[in-house]
Structure 1
Amino acid sequence: MLPKINQMLYLQIASSDEEESVIEYRSRIADEEDTALHIEYPLSQKTGRIKRLFLGDELSVYFVSADGVKHYFDSHVLGFKEDESVRLVRIMKPDPEKMTKVQRRSFLRVPAYLDLAVQLSNNERFVCQTDDVGGGGISFICDPKWRLESGSSISCWLLLPYRNGSIEHVPFKAEIVRVQDLESGRLQAMSKFIEINDSDRGKIIRYCFEKQLEFRNRT
């Protein structure tokens, strides 16, 4: 499914500046051509200010269809167009086969080996690696000496490296859903988020989106 004229797009701009790279903007599709969408200059979701774009800027974009599904795609700025005194931005139209769908209240999970700091309820702390991450929770691998039980809560700090080189630290609280022994002798713990800011959840979803596109581009 491709976005249509008058549909609202939500986008983030690839940047080496950490603060800039996580800002979300919105823009309306004003027109289209075979290979490009013509969008209005984006506005910051937070401040409402116009964001100037430049030729070649890389964009992470999504739109929400009528059935509540978020459709994510990668794009970049192709150029600009004057339309009845309104300057529009030409961005690459998405390839339907490379778009990622995320249902509302259902989050994509991707395999990812990221550094994770964990604090248990008894204040014991350890560092381990994730097995997969998503907008609804994570799985991680750790030493069996740590006393992890289903239903217990943990406080975590996740390190997220993005494609543009920026790094984010995401704090959250989670509940252990299941623990299982691996053949390697280590433990795999599956968890779901119970306390996480929407902005921090958005950072994880953005990371998953980037990884999913990376996986699809390899195939």
Structure 2
Amino acid sequence: MAVRPSVGTPVRIKLSAQDSSFYKTRVADVDDRFLYIDVPVNPLTGRELEVRVDHDLLVEYAASGSEVYRYTAQMLGIAYIPTPAVRLSGPEGTRDLERIQRREFFRISIDTSVQLVRQDDGLTYHAQSLDISGGGLAVKSREAVDYRPDDIVKATLTLPYTGDTLNATCRIVRVEVDDASQERVVSMAFEDIKERERQQVVRYTFMRQRSLKR
């Protein structure tokens, strides 16, 4: 049985299952047939998702304290409730609704210094973190970054507030230039991380979410 998200639930939107980038939004309203979300925004570029009627999107949302779901939704246009919201087909009746790992879902902003060392040649950068989740992290740098997708790097950082040190082997997913700030944004997925350290990251994201909701 499909589990509907409630109003205010964070939602992550992908253009396809293979797409590593995503858009962030929240549930604006929900009824028996449709899901209404605020216009999704790319957290790295600040760009809004282009609404294309009848196009499919991959929707990921938390339905309860322990369950996160994913399904393919169809964009059905803009609704006004009263502010603009994207109307999507709801999870009820979909054939591909699936439960996913919660630790891969929540990504929270983080502000700390990160050292990156490329495995092949030791090329080192010091960057500033952007966000982190149980599945990876993103950093920014004003320097030109000579990393490429699929490069393997060691990332070292200290989680704010907790003081926990993280040493993880990561795979570069993409390197982009932010049009507004002209900073290089490096997105990475954890390739090899101790489970104890991953759980430290997960606890950190939950702690930060609770504090932001207050």
Compute the TM-score of the two structures, normalised by the length of structure 1: 0.49
Offset from partner CA, 1:178-212 (integer Å, 9 cap, x none): 11111322200111000000000011111111110
C-alpha deviation, 1:144, in angstroms:
3.7
C-alpha distance in structure 2 between counterparts of 1:105 and 1:168, whole Å: 18
Moved beyond 3 Å, runs of 4+: 65-68, 102-105
The DSSP-based 3-state class of the residue aligned with 2:164 is strand
C-alpha deviation, 1:106, in angstroms:
2.8
Residues 144 and 185, structure 1, Cα contact 8 Å, conserved in 2: no
What pairs with 1:207-218 in structure 2 (closer than 5 Å)?
Answer: 207-217=204-214
Residue of structure 2 equivalent to 1:205: 202
RMSD between superposed Cα atoms in Å: 2.7
Residue of structure 1 equivalent to 2:192: 195
Structure 1's unaligned 5+ residue stretches are: 1-64, 71-101
C-alpha distance in structure 2 between counterparts of 1:117 and 1:107, whole Å: 24
Report the structure number with the largest CA radius of gyration.
Answer: 1
The one-letter amino acid paired with 1:117 is Q
C-alpha distance in structure 2 between counterparts of 1:171 and 1:200, whole Å: 8
1:167 and 2:155 are equivalent in the alignment = no
Offset from partner CA, 1:21-59 (integer Å, 9 cap, x none): xxxxxxxxxxxxxxxxxxxxxxxxxxxxxxxxxxxxxxx
Residues 140 and 189, structure 1, Cα contact 8 Å, conserved in 2: yes
C-alpha distance in structure 2 between counterparts of 1:67 and 1:146, whole Å: 38
C-alpha deviation, 1:127, in angstroms:
1.6
Residue of structure 2 equivalent to 1:135: 134
Residue of structure 1 equivalent to 2:174: 178
C-alpha deviation, 1:169, in angstroms:
0.8
Residue of structure 2 equivalent to 1:156: 155
What pairs with 1:23-62 in structure 2 (closer than 5 Å)?
Answer: none
What pairs with 1:43-82 in structure 2 (closer than 5 Å)?
Answer: 69=67
The one-letter amino acid paired with 2:150 is G
C-alpha distance in structure 2 between counterparts of 1:105 and 1:211, whole Å: 14
C-alpha distance in structure 1 between counterparts of 2:169 and 2:142, whole Å: 20
Residue of structure 1 equivalent to 2:38: none
C-alpha distance in structure 2 between counterparts of 1:68 and 1:167, whole Å: 26
The one-letter amino acid paired with 1:180 is E
C-alpha deviation, 1:66, in angstroms:
11
1:106 and 2:142 are equivalent in the alignment = no
The one-letter amino acid paired with 2:169 is K
User: When the two structures are aligned, how many residues end up with a matched partner?
Assistant: 120
Identity of aligned residues (%): 22
C-alpha distance in structure 1 between counterparts of 2:169 and 2:160, whole Å: 20
The DSSP-based 3-state class of the residue aligned with 1:127 is strand
